[in-house]
Amino acid sequence: MNTTRRRPEAIRCALLDQTARLLGDQGIGIVTHEAVAAAAGVSKGALLHHFPTKQSFLDETVANLLKRVDAEIDALLASDSIPYGRFTRAYVQAAFGGVTSGLDAVTSKLLMAVITGPSLRHHWSRWLDARLDYHRSTDCDANLHVVRWAADGAWLSCMLDTTNGASLDLDAIKERLLEMARPGSSRPRLAQAAG
C-alpha cells in the first residue's frame, strides 16, 4: 500500500514539521532531503514528490512559520482598540511571548534560524516590510521603530542567552516598551521616520 497516495496531505505536513524541527534545532546545514525524509519516516522519493528542491521545502516551512506569527499578531491587533502604535504593541507582545509563554520553543528556534540564515532572511524582511507598509498610518513614527528594535534586541538576547546570568525582569521590560508605544506616553519624541 502506497501511503503517499493515500495520505498525501498528512505526509506533506509531516515533512514540513520535520523540516521546521531540524531547522530550529540544528540549523540549515543539517536540513537535507535525506535528513528530512528520515525524520518524517518516508522515502526520499516521497519527499521529492512533494518538494523537488531543498529550497522548496525550506520556503514552505518559513511560509508556515510566518502564518503562525501573522495569526498571533492578528489576534493581538484585534484586542487593541487604540490605533496609534497598535502593530508595534502587538509586535512587542509577540516578541516577548516568544521568550516567555507565547510562541513555542520550536517556533522561536525556527524564527532564529530564519533571521540568521542568509537564504531565508529575505522571507522575514518581506513579511516585516509588508506589515509596516500596511500599518504605516499608525506605526511609522520613529519612536515606534525604536520600540520594535528594542523588542528585537530583547528577544535576540534571550534566544542567545547573552544575559550572563543576570536575572532580567522581562515583564517589566515588556511593559515599559508597551507604554512607550502608547499615544502620549512620557518619552522624548524622535524625528518622524522618513518614508
CATH code of the domain containing 23: 1.10.10.60
Distance between CA atoms of 88 and 73, rounded to whole angstroms?
10
In a shared domain, residues 24 and 69: no
In a domain, 88, yes or no: yes
**What would the pLDDT profile of 72-102 be if each residue is shown by its tens digit?**
999 999 999 999 999 999 999 988 876 544 4
pLDDT at 177: 95
* Three-state secondary structure call for residue 123: helix
pLDDT at 113: 78
In a shared domain, residues 13 and 68: no
In a shared domain, residues 26 and 73: no
In a shared domain, residues 47 and 138: no
In a shared domain, residues 87 and 178: yes
| Cell (9 digits) for 64 | 508556515
The residue among 52, 71, 86 that closes a domain is 52
In a domain, 119, yes or no: yes
In a shared domain, residues 27 and 101: no
Phi and psi angles of residue 178, each rounded to the nearest 5 degrees, phi first: -65, -40
Cβ neighbours, 10 Å, residue 137? 8
In a domain, 100, yes or no: yes
Distance between CA atoms of 24 and 26, rounded to whole angstroms?
6
Domain count, the chain: 2
The CA distances from residue 27 to 5, 39, 57, 158, in Å, are 31, 15, 14, 18
Q: Which domain holds residue 178?
A: 61-185
Alpha helices for the chain (secondary structure H):
3-6, 8-26, 33-40, 44-50, 54-78, 86-97, 105-116, 118-134, 136-139, 142-160, 170-180
Q: Which residue has the cell 542567545?
A: 160
In a shared domain, residues 14 and 84: no
The reported pTM is 0.78
Distance between CA atoms of 96 and 181, rounded to whole angstroms?
15
In a shared domain, residues 1 and 70: no
In a shared domain, residues 14 and 71: no
In a shared domain, residues 72 and 138: yes
In a domain, 5, yes or no: yes
In a domain, 113, yes or no: yes
In a domain, 78, yes or no: yes
Banded model confidence at residue 188, pLDDT cuts 50, 70, 90: low
Do the beta carbons of residue 178 and residue 96 sit within 8 Å? no
* Three-state secondary structure call for residue 161: coil
**What would the pLDDT profile of 11-42 be if each residue is shown by its tens digit?**
999 999 998 888 878 878 888 899 999 999 99
Kindly state the DSSP code that residue 47 receives in the 8-state scheme.
H
In a shared domain, residues 78 and 121: yes
In a shared domain, residues 17 and 90: no
